[in-house]
Structure 1
Amino acid sequence: MTKPEKKAFRIATDSSDGAYYLQLYDLIDSNKEITSEQLKEEFSIKLPKASFDTSATHLYKTLLNTMLDLRKDQDSYYSLFDMILKARILFEKSLYQECFDTLKKVKKNATKYENYYALLISSRLELEYQLALNFPGLDEKDLLHKHFKVSETLRIIQKIHQQSALYELLKYRMLHRGNARSEKQKTELNDLVVSEMSIVSSSNIQNFEISKLHQLFQANYLISVGDYKSAFHSFNELNNLHEANKHLWSNPPIYYVLSIEGVLDSLRSLREYKGMSHFVQQLEKIDTPFLSFNTNVVCLIFLYELFPFLDRGDFGSCEQLMKKYDAKLLKKVQLLSLARNAELHLYLALIYFGLRDFQKAKKCLSKIIFTNRDYSYLPVFRTIRLVNLMILYELKDTEFIKYESRSIKRDINAAGKEYKIEKKIISFVNKTNLPVSIVKRKRLWENLKKDFEIINHDVYEQQTLRLFDFSAWIESKVRRIPLAEILNNRVSQEH
């Protein structure tokens, strides 16, 4: 719970009455790490005559009601539906004028905040109540106009639904199939692209939600096919759209953060690190009452402050940044979403890897690979396993390398798709010995370099390499040059 929520709960309840549910709350609040079994045991010892289940149910309802009361003052979505419920009560109590005044206010605010669902419900309620009262003071022209407005609202909702459905399908495919890895897979997305373009071209409706969904679809599609320059423009348009419509932001502003993340991701892919600072500052301005959301935003800030150092191989600066974020992020990882937590641990492992603390790097990834099966469904999981192979190689754990390589190959075959860089990493870590002589090593790298040049210019391979430059690590092992030096040289050459 946030501090305002805790304060509101204390105000709404009388702590002097010693209610069992309040004592249960105090037990939970005093020990954030307590398990449900431990909590039940402590509660039974402290209050042997009380029912744990009854107290827990009452506490749950009280907390939920407290949070709902707070949301009504913080979020237009909650306040609009709260007014709709009040209008229903007013009608039931025969306070008809007050009911219609409330519905009129709902329709006005719903239009202002582009909440078409609240607008539809309030408009239909108004018509139902008018019907129940035999249309007092309403002529046929007014009634037809109200019907027209409802039809217009339904048309907008239908357009929003169509675009939402296409965007959700695109995101589903990106999450469960990964980004397009070939022209064939790119072609398979064409059905969504054609449908989306058809909706946009046939629609004369212009509002925030439809424009937002269009830019989100375009940007994510372009990211999925590796066109980062065009994706940057789409995300930038999306960010400008959000900045121009702050009164329409959701609470918390999830889509605004998504648009900034998209811009930052595109800038990183283009190695435009200087341009990232402005958008990181935009993230730093975000402050919501939602602790979990705020922590995910802090994680995003950390990552995009980290990438300029990590991509250049400046692992010392990475370590200093990690220490800076220890209290406000690294000790709050339980508040992160599954995908964000996996991403964070990947990059923490890479920092330790660059610092040559391979045991800590291995421990970081073990928290993802072995603790929760749900992580295995994320596209980033395959990258995590490749980094884990690198760590095992540095630790000379040949037996586990063989086991993991076979496991990864099985998963790749089951998924029916593979990156060339994945094959290279698996092949390299399973080599028993590298040549001893400098001449032979140079010859080996020249052969590998030709393959990597092809891979590096493949837009589909770039989607894995943008997370980490695996070819740089292989070069460092073959040429016996520090990884930091190779990464720094590559970024410098790109500029």
Structure 2
Amino acid sequence: MLKNSVVRLVKTLSPSEKRYLKLYCKKQSGHRAYLFLFDLIEETPLKNMDQLEQKFNSAFSDTSFDTTAKYLLRIVTDSLIQVRLDKDPLFQQLQTFMRAKVLLDRSLMKEGLKELNKAQKLAANSQNYYLEYLAYRAELNVFADLNFREITEAAMIEMQMKARNLLKTQLQIHEHHSLYELLKFRLIHIGKSLSEPEKKQLNDLLLSELSLVTNKVAHNFESKKLHLLFQSFFFTSVGDYKSALKTFSELNELFETNMEKMLGLPYDYLSALEGIMDSLRTIQAFDRIQFYLDKVSGLIRSENTEQFNLQATKTVITFKLTLFTATKNYQEALTYTKELPADILKESVIVDYEKHCELLFYIALAHFGLNEWEKTVKLLNKTTLLEKSNPHLPIYKAARLLAVLAHYELGNMEYLQYEIRSYKRAPKFKTEALKIEKLVLKTVILNPHHNNPVKNKVLLKKLTPFIKAIVNDKFEIQVLKFFNFSEWIETKFTATKKIKIRATSKLQSKPAT
């Protein structure tokens, strides 16, 4: 929808981008209704955006809202392009190539060829093989139009071979991209591999990737990057976190030695750093996380987009909270969150939903560690109700389980009965649910709070083999890395006295479906 698109674009502008837009608009002529619409979007909260069109029509009854929104979208986009021209190597290369095309179209051959040569050098420096090929192809076309008066046969053949090799390299990169994208697609739509049969489904991708690397060894940054990204995410998906950590470390070294070759914002580098810290969290090497947190903090710069800086900032916050909660410093975690910017926890269109879920989860976990059950539930309700939450994501599973634990501590047994039925109604629950999910639900059903210590001791003895199997299962660790649910289960069965159960709680909510 056009309104949503223009709102999203305006809301993601950084302060410096807004200032440049105002200056850019002063150079434009014509009706200024689009500036009114811009200011209207700026001052209207996201929750009230349904009133946007009505407010605009009240001020400009004779002007089409859709036409104005479309024009504003174009103006904002054009101004952002101008901003990026000074900072983004890719934009600079494209502008140089376009300048060459304009000059050549006006038969300014000497000047046009000069710009093409400049485009070739810029593209070569950043290993942008496709644009480098286009520049060579355009240069060959110019010489052909001039009946090859300005070039020898040997020089022409050399240029043709360079162009051909560039295409071969670009094809190899494309094949790497295809395999990496297919792996990510399967992880997103199927979920991270949770069992040996699902692990085997990914083996065809691994074999294809290994074949590509073996048969077509490339010594360029892009191919090496894609190879290491594929390997690291593959190892993560099958639960081999030590191999993933090793590969992520190689990827980090590759990025640090090739910073000048990264086009645009360093999203891939940020993703690699997140992968390293996630692997360290999984193997509980918490003492090594701070080193990489400092690297992420170094990526937060004023020249980056607000969206990128927000994602990097939330990564830093999330893993700082990870360190606090891992050492059970729950009060320190909450003190740290109070020092954060007031709007950092607000949900908005620019949020990475998985990262937002993690952030809310760890704050909720801090409250949980302090026995503040109601605050825990309140925060986790926001997590489970996110419209883009993917039930396959481990963080979603962890958040839902922690909510079950908090409701159990509150004594919301009626709610938990509905929630357990909701779990069991889910498609393929028996075959695809994690063992820890089943064990938590079983614990709630056994209701150790209601039992005497002797009965709980007997029940725990029966459950102990299952608990040990879960702790040592590399697939279960995808959820256990967020919180030690098995430890909580053991503490419930080793309590020395009964706990009075409340029938209801004011924070009961509709069970997730």
TM-score norm. by structure 2 comes to: 0.88
Verify: 1:10 aligned to 2:25, yes or no.
no
Letter in 1 for 2:124: T
Cα RMSD over matched residues?
2.4
2:86 aligned counterpart, secondary structure:
helix
Give the Cα separation in 2 of the matches to 1:447 and 1:414: 23
Alignment CA distance shift 1:129-1:169 (3 Å): same
Q: State how 1:125-274 maps to structure 2 within 5 Å.
A: 125-274=138-287
Give the Cα separation in 2 of the matches to 1:415 and 1:82: 57
Give the Cα separation in 1 of the matches to 2:425 and 2:148: 69
The list of structure 1 runs, each at least 4 consecutive aligned residues, that deviate by more than 6 angstroms after superposition, is 15-18
**Contact in 2 for aligned 1:298/1:329 (Cα 8 Å):** no
2:193 aligned counterpart, secondary structure:
coil
**Contact in 2 for aligned 1:319/1:351 (Cα 8 Å):** yes
Verify: 1:56 aligned to 2:69, yes or no.
yes
Q: State how 1:83-98 maps to structure 2 within 5 Å.
A: 83-98=96-111
**Contact in 2 for aligned 1:386/1:422 (Cα 8 Å):** yes
Give the Cα separation in 2 of the matches to 1:376 and 1:440: 35
Aligned residue for 1:105? 118
Aligned residue for 2:6? none
Aligned residue for 1:30? 43
Letter in 2 for 1:163: H
Q: State how 1:299-448 maps to structure 2 within 5 Å.
A: 299-327=314-342, 329-331=344-346, 334-372=349-387, 374-376=389-391, 378-411=393-426, 413=428, 416-432=431-447, 434=449, 436-448=451-463
String of CA shifts for 1:348-367, please: whole Å, max 9, x gaps: 32222222222222222222
Alignment CA distance shift 1:402-1:437 (3 Å): closer
**Contact in 2 for aligned 1:120/1:153 (Cα 8 Å):** yes
Instruction: Report the alpha carbon displacement of residue 333 of structure 1 after superposing the two structures with TM.
Output: 5.3
Instruction: Report the alpha carbon displacement of residue 432 of structure 1 after superposing the two structures with TM.
Output: 4.3
| More moved, 20-29 vs 93-102 | 20-29
Instruction: Report the alpha carbon displacement of residue 414 of structure 1 after superposing the two structures with TM.
Output: 6.2
Instruction: Report the alpha carbon displacement of residue 203 of structure 1 after superposing the two structures with TM.
Output: 1.7
Alignment CA distance shift 1:471-1:481 (3 Å): farther
1:274 aligned counterpart, secondary structure:
helix
Give the Cα separation in 2 of the matches to 1:457 and 1:416: 19
Verify: 1:471 aligned to 2:502, yes or no.
no
Instruction: Report the alpha carbon displacement of residue 35 of structure 1 after superposing the two structures with TM.
Output: 3.8
1:335 aligned counterpart, secondary structure:
coil
String of CA shifts for 1:306-342, please: whole Å, max 9, x gaps: 1122123221122112212243622465531122222
| More moved, 70-79 vs 322-331 | 322-331
| More moved, 257-266 vs 174-183 | 174-183
Instruction: Report the alpha carbon displacement of residue 162 of structure 1 after superposing the two structures with TM.
Output: 1.1
Alignment CA distance shift 1:477-1:316 (3 Å): same
User: Which runs of 5 or more residues in structure 1 are unaligned?
Assistant: 483-495
String of CA shifts for 1:367-397, please: whole Å, max 9, x gaps: 2323415544544323322222222222222
Verify: 1:73 aligned to 2:100, yes or no.
no
2:414 aligned counterpart, secondary structure:
helix
**Contact in 2 for aligned 1:412/1:418 (Cα 8 Å):** no
Instruction: Report the alpha carbon displacement of residue 178 of structure 1 after superposing the two structures with TM.
Output: 2.3
**Contact in 2 for aligned 1:435/1:441 (Cα 8 Å):** no
**Contact in 1 for aligned 2:354/2:389 (Cα 8 Å):** no
Alignment CA distance shift 1:67-1:376 (3 Å): same
Verify: 1:461 aligned to 2:476, yes or no.
yes
Instruction: Report the alpha carbon displacement of residue 435 of structure 1 after superposing the two structures with TM.
Output: 5.9
String of CA shifts for 1:434-454, please: whole Å, max 9, x gaps: 464333333333332332112
Aligned residue for 1:493? none
Alignment CA distance shift 1:330-1:282 (3 Å): same
Aligned length: 482
**Contact in 1 for aligned 2:231/2:247 (Cα 8 Å):** yes
Letter in 1 for 2:311: N
**Contact in 2 for aligned 1:313/1:354 (Cα 8 Å):** yes
Give the Cα separation in 2 of the matches to 1:466 and 1:391: 18
2:366 aligned counterpart, secondary structure:
helix
**Contact in 2 for aligned 1:219/1:234 (Cα 8 Å):** yes
String of CA shifts for 1:224-263, please: whole Å, max 9, x gaps: 2222222111111100100001101232100100111111
Give the Cα separation in 2 of the matches to 1:23 and 1:41: 13
2:428 aligned counterpart, secondary structure:
helix
**Contact in 2 for aligned 1:425/1:470 (Cα 8 Å):** yes
Give the Cα separation in 2 of the matches to 1:221 and 1:326: 36
1:458 aligned counterpart, secondary structure:
coil
Alignment CA distance shift 1:189-1:345 (3 Å): same
1:13 aligned counterpart, secondary structure:
helix
Give the Cα separation in 2 of the matches to 1:308 and 1:443: 35
* Correspondence for 1:290 among 292, 305, 312: 305
Letter in 2 for 1:12: Y
String of CA shifts for 1:166-223, please: whole Å, max 9, x gaps: 1112222222222222222222221111111111111232111111111111111111
Aligned residue for 2:8? none
Instruction: Report the alpha carbon displacement of residue 15 of structure 1 after superposing the two structures with TM.
Output: 9.0
| More moved, 64-73 vs 412-421 | 412-421
Give the Cα separation in 2 of the matches to 1:35 and 1:79: 39
> Percent identical across equivalent pairs?
31
Instruction: Report the alpha carbon displacement of residue 32 of structure 1 after superposing the two structures with TM.
Output: 4.4
Letter in 1 for 2:424: K
**Contact in 1 for aligned 2:460/2:490 (Cα 8 Å):** yes
Instruction: Report the alpha carbon displacement of residue 109 of structure 1 after superposing the two structures with TM.
Output: 0.7
Give the Cα separation in 2 of the matches to 1:268 and 1:179: 17
Letter in 1 for 2:99: K
Give the Cα separation in 2 of the matches to 1:104 and 1:414: 60
